[in-house]
Structure 1
Amino acid sequence: MSNNNNNSNQPAVPQAKAGLNKFKMEAAQEVGVNLKEGYNGDLTSREAGSVGGQMVKKMVEAYERNL
């Protein structure tokens, strides 16, 4: 990959960070995961995966609506 930044947790567009955090919080609420601002290392793998999965599901749905 040609990206010089080795930290994959950084958004490609840094200005999008607030929007991504809001999106993540909405997805967590939809799947019933109690996500808090900042550190969430106490989540189980299942909880964290369900939040990520919900985010992907919503992104795919948005993409399909815009086809």
Structure 2
Amino acid sequence: MTTDPGDDPHVRLLLGAYVLDALDPEETCRVARHLRTCDSCARDYVETAEASLLLALLRAEDLGE
């Protein structure tokens, strides 16, 4: 899903994949560049990264049925 940054100025939809290192190199660079200049997306990135870390702490028994 490579797009011209001018077509889509924000990267929120890519943040989950970015946190999980699941983007192709071009998209990774695009998101990294954008995060350096957009406080709003940078805040969303921090929240996404924190959520990912918290989810990694869950154990199967924490989820219950």
TM-score (normalised: structure 1) = 0.37
User: Which of structures 1 and 2 has the bigger CA Rg?
Assistant: 2
Query: Taking structure 2 as the reference length, what is the TM-score of the superposition?
Result: 0.38
Structure with bigger helix share is: 2
Q: Which has the higher contact order (CA 8 A, sep 6+)?
A: 2
